[in-house]
Amino acid sequence: MNEPLQTSGSLRRRLMLQLVGSAAFLATLLFFVVLGFARDVAQQTHDSILLASATSIMDSVSVQADEITVDIPYAALSMLGNVSNDRVFYRVSTRDDVLTGYENLPTTSQSVRSGHSAFDTLTYKGDSIRMVTSLRRLSLNGAPADIIISVAQTREGQAAQLAQLSRSAMQLGLGFFLVATILAIWAAQSSIRPLKQLTEAVSRRGPKDLRPVQRPVPSEMIPLVSSLNRFIGRLRVSLTRSEDFIAEAAHRVRTPLATVRTQAEITLRRVDRAENRASLREMIRAIDESSRAAGQLLDHAMVTFRIDSLERKAIDLTELGRELVDRLQPIAELKDIDLHFFGSGNPKITGDAILIQNAVRNILDNAIKYSPNESAIQVSTRQNGNTARIQVEDEAGGFVGMDTDALTQRFTRGENAAGTIGSGLGLTIAREVVEAHGGVLIIETSKTGTGACVSLCFPLH
């Protein structure tokens, strides 16, 4: 029945992996975008200072007495020193001559127009440098002369700054990834939660609870719940049909059986031969067995039917117990059994009185049936905390060596039942009724140790 189901992965894990995967991708993207952006900003800042330095040198170039003079202001180079401790190089030249500065400083490969500048990243003396080249056209001896100014700086400070930026971007990316992962776990849990809640609600139900699922569920789960409800509906119809069939069959069998029994008894009175009387007695016994079975089957079907749509009314357990004891007193008297009732308080419960009467009657019926002649049976009710209990104690020897759980299953009878008419449904009916009311059936040995003590415990009203 309970074959292990095959699993094809886990929805939560799949969702979580997808979300964490997306978070990892976004974190990496964030890392590169932030790093690229920071690198651009750092480069632009550095370039602006290089340009400012070149411009300030350019401003110091003038033509005096047909000679080009350069008076490099201190601030022009010191402003670069403020940025980092990197070495600074410069060169002021015309198209043909180097006027001042580092002669072997590399030249830009770009063509620079007057009033414009070009930036290059080059290698000088084995170090990477960033260089700006600016050009200005002056008039010398009535002819145009191009002044080219290059200012360069090594990039060690910039590299250190970039490493620092990468670390920050990495921390940012990691932080983002961690937060996104926590959110992904939360999102995966919360999207699976309605499914879990539905599973719990369905598995918490009693075996007889075939009501459709009505709790609100997310729209995606509607098809699943609709199919489940349709399935429950079909199951309910087919169960009701088979219970109806059993009830109908039992009813149809009981009436002719009663006629046959009457006829057999009449014949028994007329017959004298011992062996004929013995077979007639045997026949009557078999008829009794069959009608008891039919009666119990009918009761069981009725119980199943009523449990399905359980009536919930206030019931006084003491009153119910006393009434039943009065009703069964004549049967107990046939065996000279002293049937006592002791009701303490008036414990009130909620439920279906017909079902509870049926359950208690089956327990009392057992006590009378299995008790020896001239013994005593004590029926009592009491309230214990928030449970109401009705208990039947007898002197019938109890359930010694019997598996009491098994006895509450259909058609199971104990060894002591041999020779006693019965069908093995009494305890099943009692257990099903008690459980449908949210209670428990407790089977134990009586305090005196001479018999059974069967209790039906219900939650209080």
Ligand X SMILES: Nc1ncnc2c1ncn2[C@@H]1O[C@H](COP(=O)(O)OP(=O)(O)OP(=O)(O)O)[C@@H](O)[C@H]1O
- Residues in contact with ligand X by CB under 6 A are 292, 296, 362, 366-367, 370, 394, 396-399, 407, 413-414, 416-417, 422-428, 452
Given the complex with ligand X, which of 133 and 296 has the nearer CB atom? Answer: 296
Answer yes or no: are the C-beta atoms of 27 and 174 closer than 8 Å: yes
Least distance (Å) from ligand X to the CB of residue 324? 15
Which residue, 129 or 367, is less far from ligand X as judged by CB? 367
Nearer to ligand X by Cβ, of 157 and 397: the residue is 397
423 binds, among Mg ion, ligand X, none (CB under 5 to 8 A by kind): ligand X
Residue 212 CB, nearest distance to Mg ion (Å)? 35
Displacement of CA 374 from its chain's centroid (Å): 59
The entry of ligand X, Mg ion, none near residue 417 (CB within 5 to 8 angstroms by kind) is: ligand X
- Measured distance CA(446)–CA(325) in Å, rounded: 19
**Ramachandran bin of 417, using left for φ above 0, alpha for ψ from -120 to 50, beta for the remaining angles:** alpha
Closest approach of ligand X to the CB of residue 311, in Å: 24
d(CA 150, CA 137): 15
Question: Which of Mg ion, ligand X, none sits in contact with 370, Cβ below 5 to 8 A by type?
Answer: ligand X
Neighbours of 399 (CB within 10 A): 19
Q: Rounded to whole angstroms, how far apart are CA atoms 128 and 156?
A: 8
149 binds, among ligand X, Mg ion, none (CB under 5 to 8 A by kind): none
| From Mg ion, ligand X, none, interface partner of 27 (C-beta below 5 to 8 A by class) | none
Strands 117-124 and 127-140: antiparallel
Minimum gap (Å) between residue 292 Cβ and Mg ion: 9
* Complex with Mg ion: residue 414 or 439, whichever CB lies closer: 414
Q: Give 347 or 451: the residue with its C-beta nearer to ligand X.
A: 451
Work out how close the CB of 268 gets to ligand X at its nearest, in angstroms, rounded to a whole number. Answer: 24
Strand order in the sheet with 98-101: 98-101, 88-93, 143-154, 127-140, 117-124
Judged by CB, which is closer to ligand X: 173, or 422? 422
Q: Distance (Å, rounded) from C-alpha 278 to C-alpha 9?
A: 69
- Binders of Mg ion among 168-187, rule CB under 5 A? none
396 binds, among ligand X, Mg ion, none (CB under 5 to 8 A by kind): ligand X
Residue 422 Cβ, how far from Mg ion at the closest point, in Å? 5
145 interacts with, out of ligand X, Mg ion, none, CB within 5 to 8 A per kind? none
How buried is 308 (Cβ within 10 angstroms: 0-12 exposed, 13-18 middle, 19+ buried)? middle
Around 244, how many Cα atoms within 13 Å sit in the side-chain half-sphere? 6
What is the nearest approach in angstroms of ligand X to the Cβ of residue 421? 7
The mark string for 388-427 relative to Mg ion (x by CB under 5 A, - otherwise) is --------------------------------------x-
Exposed e or buried b per residue across 402-434, where buried means at least 16 C-beta atoms within 10 angstroms of its C-beta: bebeebbeeebbbeebeeeebbbbbbbbbbbbb
Task: Please give the Cα distance from 134 to 51 (Å, whole number).
Answer: 8
Judged by beta carbon, residue 161 or residue 290, the one nearer ligand X is 290
Taking the least distance from each CB to ligand X, the nearer of 136 and 413 is: 413
Binding mask 344-383 vs Mg ion (x if CB under 5 A, - otherwise)? ----------------------x-----------------
Cβ proximity to ligand X, 316 vs 394, nearer residue: 394
CA distances from 310 to 352, 355, 416 (A): 7, 9, 34
Which residue minimizes CB distance to Mg ion? Answer: 426
What string of DSSP letters covers 418-443?
Answer: TTS---S-HHHHHHHHHHHTT-EEEE
Instruction: Compute the least distance from the CB of residue 405 to ligand X, in Å.
Output: 11
Rg for the chain, CA atoms, rounded:
50
Token code pair at residue 279: 């077979």
- Smallest gap from Cβ 351 to ligand X, in A, equals 21
361 binds, among Mg ion, ligand X, none (CB under 5 to 8 A by kind): none
3-state SS string over 188-253?
HHHHHHHHHHHHHHHHCCCCCCCCCCCCCCCHHHHHHHHHHHHHHHHHHHHHHHHHHHHHHHHHHH
Is residue 133 near Mg ion by the rule CB under 5 A? no
CB of 290 to ligand X, least distance (A): 12
| Pairwise CA distance, residues 8 & 176, whole Å | 31
Closer residue to ligand X (CB): 25 or 411: 411
Which of the choices Mg ion, ligand X, none does residue 89 contact, using the CB cut-off of 5 to 8 A by kind?
none
- Binding residues vs Mg ion (CB under 5 A): 366, 426
